Structure 1
Amino acid sequence: MKSILKKLDFFESLGWFGNIILSIGVIPQVVQTWKTHDVDSFNWPFLLMWAFGVLFTFIYIVNGDLKTDKRQYPLWLNYMVNIVATFYLCYAKLIYS
């Protein structure tokens, strides 16, 4: 039984680590866009597919978590950060183009 708990803790740690990396990964782009207002390299199809992809996936994860009464907080963190970041980048593209 102890071995199973250690494996679960290991895999949960992997989930947290991976999702923190994914969350942090978008921040440099947001900061650069905030500072330079340079949005020429972004294209609308990419931004909109990314923004709505993370939004809809987050809704799917939350719905599944509520049904099973299990919370996958590493995924929640990743998707919440990415939702805010991608919608900011869409806003910046609209305003600075």
Structure 2
Amino acid sequence: MKTALSKLDFFESLGWFGNIILSIGVIPQVVQTWETHDVGSFNWPFLLMWAFGVFFTFIYIVHGDLKSGKKQFPLWLNYMVNILATFYLCYAKLIYA
């Protein structure tokens, strides 16, 4: 018989797995941009909406976690990596465009 704890572990594992994939997914773009300085295919509306979207969502998650006392570290990982990556891509767009 499955317990509530095993279901929680399963769904928490899914959360970790999904957020690790999302965190890693941006790294090839960052590496390619770093190496080639090619930012021609990036458009500002996309970059800014993505950057501020992940930033504001991270603030929302942190606020909710502090209020509830439960930390959702998979989400923290995903959003921290994406914040750094998107703001680097915005910086690269400014410098290399």
With structure 2 as the length reference, what TM-score do the two structures score?
Answer: 0.98
> What's 1:26 paired with?
26
Paired letter, 1:28: P
In structure 2, C-alpha distance between the alignment counterparts of 1:46 and 1:76, rounded to whole Å = 22
Runs of 5+ in structure 2 lacking a partner? Answer: none
Work out the percentage of aligned pairs sharing the same amino acid.
87
Provide runs of 4+ in structure 1 moved above 4 Å.
Answer: none
Q: Provide TM-score, normalisation by structure 1.
A: 0.98
Q: Give, in angstroms, the shift of residue 89 of structure 1.
A: 0.1
Residue 63 of structure 1 aligns with an amino acid whose one-letter code is H
**CA displacement at 1:17 relative to structure 2:** 0.2
* Cα-to-partner distance string for 1:21-61 (whole Å, 9 max, x where unaligned): 00000000000000000000000000000000000000000
Query: In 1, distance between residues paired with 2:39 and 2:95?
Result: 9
The residue aligned with 2:40 is 40
Aligned: 1:50 with 2:13: no
Q: Which amino acid aligns with 1:7?
A: K
Alpha-carbon distance in structure 1 between the residues aligned to 2:4 and 2:70: 18
Provide the aligned C-alpha RMSD in A. Answer: 1.0
SS at match of 2:3: helix
Residue 89 in structure 1 maps to residue 89 in structure 2: yes
